[in-house]
Every structure is written in structure tokens, then in C-alpha cells.
A and B are shown apart, each in its own frame.
Chain A
Amino acid sequence: MENENREQMKLDDAARVRVLSPGMMVAKRFLRNRLAITGIVIIICMFLFAFIGAIITPYTESQVFYRTEQMRKDYAGAVALDEFQMFTAEGAEVPSDIGSKMLIGIGKQEYVFETRDGSLIGLAKLSDSTYMIYGAERIKDAKLMMSEECKAAAAAGRNWFESSGKTYLVEGEGIRGSLYATTELAIASKVSVTAYDASTAFSFDFYKGALTAMSLGETSFAADGGNYTIEQEGEGSAMVHTADGANYAYVSNMNINSFIGGVFLTPDFKELLIENISSGSESFEYTDEEGVTDTYMISEKNGQYTVKRYQTTRVIDTYASPSKEHPLGTDANGMDMLTRLMYGGRISLLIGFVVVAIELFLGVLFGGVAGFFGGWVDTLLMRFVDVIYCIPSMPLYLILGSIMDYYKVSPTVRIYMLCVVIGLIGWVGIARIVRGQILSLREQEFMTAAEATGISVSRRIFKHLVPNVIPQLVVFASMEVGGVILTESTLSFLGLGIKYPAASWGSILNAVNDSYVMTNYLFVWIPAGFMMLFTVLAFNFIGDGLRDAFDPKMKR
């Protein structure tokens, strides 16, 4: 291109004889280097991606995403009642061993017995599955014994009768029989009573009325000053209506419980369930109060019926495949991969630059002083550099990482600690370069001139000598940024660098330690790895381009 222009120019053309400053020459040579330009473009893209991208992205660094999933979950359990349920009267105390004594008594058909605490208990048999429990007191009343009510009861095979509003128990017959006066304690029955409305609480009076009526086959009863009607619905279950015909309670010989806390099973549901259990069907549909129709499945095991239904549950969206919402999917914690990559890039790039800044500061300081003064100062400082250089860095980082683990250092502090430690170990390379350059530079004439003008030592070192080392420093620093990013990501990869919830490219790649993730979720580790590769590569391209640009001798 230049050759074409040259032909049209005159010999004294200003553009032709223009002399570029050394800096411009370097810039020109640098910009001509295709690899270096590629590197610059990649770095700019990475910065935009990590810093601007993280602002634009709708998600935050550690935002967890959820998905809903259809799961068959246990909804309710039903079991046929084969034990007596006690409905205790208000204020009455039932002896603790009443259950076992009652079973023994029923088995022997001895309805009056003594419990462990010495109280006399009597049972009045209403039906095979329903008994009234009384506290009994033996009385002698021949007149009552011979009364019509007593005889009627004996004729009907009952062991109890009512006389002038009181209930009496009879044991035996005639003169040899015993008579007991009673106080109500409880009613025992092999049924459960569910209120139609969750807020309804039943009184003992109601239980007694309903259960008595049911077992005696009556269709109505009175309790608490109200009248109720009973509608039998098949075997062992019945619906209790109030006087105005509204559903009030549901009585059944199945005990049905919800498996989910806070869910009230309506009598409708129970009714439907019992119907289906008795008809032997395996699933049914039910529309709840909110009008949602679900399919319920019934399974039976040892007399226990379990009702299941499909339910939507919220689960963390782990390892979701790339989609519109998550272009790179989500990771093991249900976080958006793309966003994690952006924030990880921030940390990786920041650590790279901060560490190199620390290294430059220490390296220039030590190298400059050592190179300028020479002699014993140089020897001492360089031996110090040798010592630092000999410390095995990787094991040291790992040890510090595991000590930080032990102290449960917060992720943010870890980042700072990592910067400081890598910086404190890594500056020796820069110190050597600076010292070597300055050793040769200080013998040159311009330094003699500087000394002759009488300017201070620190100005001579840092104003006159160090700027001459800048080319080497810039080259070294740009490659070192890449190196530090590699070190940091290696540490994070081993799980001892950046920790969750903070992200870095290395810690994202850490997921491949699980070979299942490595095999099946490529989108989790491939992008992070290539981001890292491209970034480090770009820094090396730039460093390489700068070296060529600064060192024209290497040119043809």
C-alpha cells in the first residue's frame, strides 16, 4: 500500500519525510501485528462481556431458578377403623387402661369391671361397635330392679335401661342381679366423625346423640338443643344433616387423614373416597372447593389405603439445558450459567490486574533499589528474591486455601487474600528484570548527567531509570495477567480459590470433578474453559505483539 503511494509523492513531500516518535513507531508496529490486534479485540470483548454484560443481564450473580414439576405425591391415607375411638364427655376423666379393660370386658360379656385405679366402669352396649362408657356405682333398689323399664331392657337383651331420665346398668337377672347407677364418661365407637365445616367443633352431646342414633338405627336425634337427621349411606357411614337439611357432619368407619399439613379433607371427599374404596375402583376424580379437578389414585396395602395425586412442586432448576431464558443453561445450584460466566469473568480479570499491580509495585521497588545501589544492597535484596523464588507456590496456595476453609473465611475476603498472596509470591520475576536492566542502564551517560545535576536518588531511580525498563515491564505484565488468571482458576478448580456463591471461571469448571456432569452437561464446563483459554491467549498475544513492537531488532 505504501509503495503505491510513494510513486505519487515528491521527494520532499512532508508525509514522506515525516519522522515518527519512538512511541508512535511502537504503536504503529504493534497495530500492524495481526495477532496482537486479535488479542486486543478478545480482551475488549471479555471486558464488555464481564462488566457491561453483568449489568445488562436480567439475573443476579447468585439468583437461583426454580421449575415446577409434576410429582405423584401422597395426598391422604384411609384405614378401616378396628379400634374404638373415645369421645369423652366434657369434664370427665377416663381411666388410662380403659381401652384394654373394655376389650376384655366385651370379650367376656362382662360389662361392669374395675380399672387399675379402682374405679368401677360400666359399659352400655348400643351396638356391636358402639358402647357408652359410664362410671358405675352399685346400688340396691329392688323397686327399680323390678320396674317395667328394667324388664323391657332384659327382654330386648340390653344391659341398660333408662328410668326417670337416668341410665342404669344391670348385671345378671332378677334378685341375683346387680344394679348400677351411672355417670357419663365417654362413648366409644369404631367410627370417625368429620365436621362438614372445618371450624365446627362437636360437643359430647352431639357425639352421643349421633352415635346412639346411628347404632340404634334411628334417623333423627336431638343434641345441644338442636335437631339433626341421619341419612345412612351404605355400610358404616352416614351423613348428619341439621334441621334445615344442610350437611353437618360425616360419620364413617374409615379413618381418613390428610398427609399434607393444613389440608382439611371435606366430608364430600371422604364420602367419595369411601364409595370408591368399597366399589374397588383405583382412581376417581374430585373437584375441590376451589373448583380444581384432580385425579386421585387409590392404592391398598395391608388394609391401609393411600390416596395419591399429581401435584406441582417447585424444585431448583439444576442443570437445565440451554433455553431462551438461560442461553447456557443452569448449573448445579440452579443459577444461570451465562450470568455466572459474566461475574466469574469479572473476578478472574480483576484478580489478574490487581495481582499484577501488586507485583509491579513490589518488583519495581525492590528491583530498582537493588539495581541502582548495587553492592551489598543488591546482594542482600537479590538473595531475598532467591529465597522467595524458591518457595513452592502451588502447595503454599493450597495450604493457605485449606486454612481459610478451616476458618470459614467469607468468599469476598478470600478473593482479597488470594490477590495478596499471589502478589507477594509473584513479584520476584519483575524484580529480576528491573534489576538486570537498571544495572546496565545506570552505567550509561544520561545517568552520569542526571547525577551531575544533583537530583535526588529516588527521582533518579523512578524518573530516569524505571521509565527505561517500561517496555520489558509492559511485555512481562501483559503475559503475567494471563498467568495469574491461570493460577487463580487452577486454585478455584481445585476448590481452594474462589468459593460459592462468588464465581470464577475456575470454580465453574470445578463441576467436571463429577464425571456425570462432565459427560452429560457439556454446557456447564465448555464455555468457562474456552473463556479462560481465550482470555489468557489474548493477553499472551498482546504481550507477544508488544515485545515485537518494542524490539525492532527482531524485525527483518
Chain B
Amino acid sequence: MTKFVIKRLMLSVVILFFVSMIIYGIMRCMPTSYVEQQAMTLSQKPGAKSYQEWLDQLNAAYGLDSGVVQGYFTWASQAVRGEFGDSWYFNQPVVAKFSSVIWYSFALAVLAFILEIAVAIPAGIAAAKKQYSVTDYTITVIALIGISLPSFFFATILKYVFAIKLGWFDLYGIVGRNHLQLSTVEQILDMAYHMVLPVITLTVVGIGSLMRYTRTNMLEVLNSDYIRTARAKGVSERRVVNHHAFRNTLIPIVTLLGGTLPGLFSGAMITETLFQIPGIGYTSYQCVIQGDIPFVMFYMLFSAVLILSGNLIADILYAVVDPRVRVN
């Protein structure tokens, strides 16, 4: 098992090496004039560094003045040490900006994640218990609608109904107007209040796949021989479903959910942007639009690491659950 984990870890490092190379390559593909123009625009903002300072920093960080290979290693060696330079748009170190916004995204994602699990797993099991019943069809259709719903459209509808027509929530932002006058507890409640609509959006959009995954796995388990045996023994249907079937269904579900854990940090670009939640998604969206190369490079690398670690966790969990995987 240890050998398997080490092998996968090494593989992940190799993949990360190539992914980062591609990301660096994309950055190098940007026309020089584009980079310079962005630096020029940003340097003209009040309080920003001078144009030359930006360019020098860029050259130092990305080795733009040297060859592609050498430049990559210049950048990679600094990235390994956690030095990603200063964000152009926010005019502060990338890592500092990142650590100040990531927790908004995480809070949003965790809330949505818990809601998804709480709704999707029972619903998926209910659908599987009575395949082709009205319940099953309803849940299938709801799950498919969730998958098919463009998040920006759903978020807009929510905003229209609850923020504009009913006036229950604010249209934008994470804090209310009088946030600073509130006590600490009230401040937290204020933020939670502003997260209601984004969390609903994320939950509805993300719930479909988990629901269907649960249903498919539950069906598979319910069709397996040991369930038939249990039924033949005369075990009550409730016990068959809740003990024999559910526990076996949990194995692939937990594996899947384990793989999505790192994704909780990746931020929801569209939803955060629409509700202007200052998380990593909204921040990086602003940076992409503004051509903030240091931050975007960091975000790309960060996302790649998240995807990789998600795969890694899923792989290891599969190996834990199913020993046959380890042999191959």
C-alpha cells in the first residue's frame, strides 16, 4: 500500500511538472506587446509601481528575457519556494491576496458541499429503491435539470426573484451596508446571510451528478446477488436497503467525494462573479480580465494542483477500497 501511494505521488509530481510547463508555455505564447501594454496600463494607476519596475519584476520572475527552457526553470524554482511575485491588479503579493480571499470560497464550497450530500444521497437512494416509479422519474428529471442548468442563468433568476422582486437579499457582495457597525457574531451572520443565494446556486447546479451517481450505484448494489440472498433469507426490506445495500453504496460515493475535497478550494468563478463574493474565483476572474499575469499564473498552477490532488486522493481511496487496484 505504501509503495502504491509513493508511486502515485511520484507520478503526480511528474504530471505537475508537465502541466506547469504547459501553463508556462501558454504564458510565453502571449504576445510581448500584450504583456507590455498590460504593464503600461497598470503602471498608470494611482499608487502603482512604475512601468519599468513591473517589467523588471516580470523578467526576474518569469525569465522573459531568457529562453523558454531556462525561463521555465527560473519561474519554477521560485514557484517551488512559494514566490509568485506581486499581483498587478491588486498591487500586493499574490500569495497574500490569495490567502485573504480563499476562505470565502472555501466557506461557500463547504456549505454547498454539505447541502449537496444531505439532499443528493437520500434522493438518489429513494430513486433507486423504486426504479421507474414517479419518484424515480421526478428525481432523475430534477438531477438532469440541475446538470443542465447554466449556473449564471439560475443565479440570475434567484437574484431577480429574491433580491429584486422580494427584496430579501442584497444583489451583490459579501457584507451589508452597515457591516462595520455590527458585533463580531452579527458580522459572521451578515456574511452567512449574503452567502445564501450563492450557496443555493452552487448546490442546485452541483447536486445532479451526485444524485445520479448515488442512484446508479445503489441500483447496481440492489441488483447484486448478496442482496437477493438477503431478501431470500427474509430480511426486512428496510434492513436490506439501510444495512446491506446502503453501506456498500457508500464505498464508491465516499471515494468520489474524497476526490472532490480539494475542489472545495478551487472557487466558483461564475457564481462568485455574479454575486461579487470576493473569493478566489471572483478574484481570478478580475485578474484574467485585467491581464494580471502573476495572479493568473498562480491560479492556473493552484487549480492544476487541486485537480491533481483530487485524482490522487480518489486513486488512493480506490486502492484502499478495492485491493485489486494496487496490484495493477
Contacts of A482 in B (CB 8 A): 147-148
Contacts of B131 in A (CB 8 A): 556
CA distance A515 to B155 in the complex (A): 13
Partner of A536, one of B148, B160, B300: B148
B316 to chain A, nearest CB (A): 15
20 A-B pairs (CB sep. < 8 Å)? A35-B140, A386-B311, A389-B311, A391-B23, A391-B304, A395-B300, A399-B288, A402-B288, A402-B289, A407-B31, A490-B150, A490-B152, A493-B152, A509-B152, A529-B150, A529-B153, A532-B150, A540-B148, A544-B140, A553-B223
CA distance A493 to B270 in the complex (A): 9
Partner of A544, one of B144, B151, B164, B303: B144
Interface-located stretch among B13-21, B58-66, B71-79, B226-234: B13-21
Q: Is B137 part of the contact surface with A, judged by Cβ < 8 Å?
A: yes
- B interface residues, tally (CB under 8 Å): 51
Contacts of B159 in A (CB 8 A): 518
B139 to chain A, nearest CB (A): 12
**Using an 8 Å CB-CB cutoff, how does the interface string of A217-245 with B read, 1 for contact, 0 for none?**
00000000000000000000000000000
Interface residues, chain B, CB within 8 Å of chain A? Answer: 11, 14-16, 18-19, 22-23, 26, 30-31, 34, 37, 131-132, 137, 140-141, 144-145, 147-153, 156-157, 159-160, 164, 171, 219, 223, 269-270, 273, 284-285, 288-289, 291, 296, 299-300, 303-304, 307-308, 311
Contacts of B311 in A (CB 8 A): 386, 389-390
**Using an 8 Å CB-CB cutoff, how does the interface string of A488-517 with B read, 1 for contact, 0 for none?**
011001100000000000100100100100
A124 to chain B, nearest CB (A): 65
Q: Is A383 part of the contact surface with B, judged by Cβ < 8 Å?
A: yes
Closest residue on chain A to residue B145 by CB atoms: A537
Contact: A509 with B153, CB < 8 Å? yes
Contacts of B19 in A (CB 8 A): 387, 390-391
Contacts of A509 in B (CB 8 A): 150, 152-153, 156
B243 to chain A, nearest CB (A): 23
Contacts of B147 in A (CB 8 A): 482, 536, 540
Partner of B300, one of A396, A519, A529: A396
Q: Is A394 part of the contact surface with B, judged by Cβ < 8 Å?
A: yes
Interface secondary structure of B, over-half rule:
helix
Contact: A533 with B145, CB < 8 Å? yes
A475 to chain B, nearest CB (A): 12
Contact: A386 with B285, CB < 8 Å? no
A428 to chain B, nearest CB (A): 12
B45 to chain A, nearest CB (A): 18
Contact: B26 with A486, CB < 8 Å? no
Contact: B160 with A395, CB < 8 Å? no
Closest residue on chain A to residue B164 by CB atoms: A519
Contact: B15 with A390, CB < 8 Å? yes
Contact: A386 with B296, CB < 8 Å? no
Q: Is A89 part of the contact surface with B, judged by Cβ < 8 Å?
A: no
Contacts of B152 in A (CB 8 A): 490, 493, 509, 512
Closest residue on chain B to residue A512 by CB atoms: B156
Contact: B26 with A396, CB < 8 Å? yes
Contacts of B164 in A (CB 8 A): 515, 518-519
Contacts of B11 in A (CB 8 A): 383
Contacts of A390 in B (CB 8 A): 15-16, 19, 304, 307-308, 311
CA distance A512 to B270 in the complex (A): 13
**Using an 8 Å CB-CB cutoff, how does the interface string of A519-556 with B read, 1 for contact, 0 for none?**
10010010001001100110111001000000001101
CA distance A553 to B34 in the complex (A): 56
Partner of A533, one of B137, B148, B219, B289: B148
Contact: B144 with A383, CB < 8 Å? no
Partner of A389, one of B132, B156, B273, B307: B307
Closest residue on chain A to residue B308 by CB atoms: A390
A493-B150, A509-B152, A532-B153 provided; 15 other pairs, C-beta below 8 A? A383-B15, A383-B18, A391-B300, A396-B300, A399-B296, A489-B150, A493-B270, A509-B153, A512-B156, A518-B159, A518-B164, A529-B157, A539-B148, A541-B144, A544-B144
CA distance A14 to B269 in the complex (A): 61
Known: A399-B26, A553-B223. A533 touches B150 (CB 8 A): yes
Partner of A537, one of B34, B148, B153, B219: B148
Q: Top 4 nearest A-B pairs by Cβ distance?
A: A392-B303, A536-B148, A529-B153, A537-B148
